[in-house]
Amino acid sequence: MKLTIARIDDLSIFRIGGKVGWESSRLLDREVRTAVESKTKYLVFDLDDIEFLSSGAIGVLVYHLRKLQGGNGDIFVLTSNQYVMYLFRTIGFHRVFEGKIFGAYPELASKLQSMGIQFAAPEPSAWRVVEARNEEDDERSLREESP
């Protein structure tokens, strides 16, 4: 998994790429929790570069969607990735995230501005790279947990 994070006021953007397996989804969850605990109210998940999403990764999105909506916040998904859209439609998550999935930054910016949230794509220097294990670690952990 490749993970970079940018924070703009009370909004955090998680740019996620590669394969998000079991171990990676736990790291993602920790980073999202850290953002929420530091008063982030709005999360944007940029999933354009995703190659694989595990059920654990999808669980992270849904858990924090419910948590933030209960506390006057929200989650948005930014993607034009056909795999992600196929996956969301297959498991019915396109309905869970209805009105929260955007294909490009301008569409997302328009939605956020309609909610009174000023938004512009972050400057390159605003991004923080999170060191993540590679896919082999996810595969090894699954093999180790199998009976």
Are the C-beta atoms of residues 6 and 121 closer than 8 Å to each other? no
Query: pTM for this structure?
Result: 0.87
pLDDT tens for residues 46-91?
999 999 999 899 999 989 988 898 878 999 999 999 999 999 999 9
Number of domains in the chain: 1
Report the distance separating Cα 10 and Cα 39, nearest Å.
6
H helix intervals, 7-54:
22-37
What is the token pair recorded at 8? 């703009």
pLDDT tens for residues 101-141?
999 999 999 999 999 988 888 888 899 999 876 555 454 44
Domain that holds residue 19: 2-145
CATH of the domain at 42: 3.30.750.24
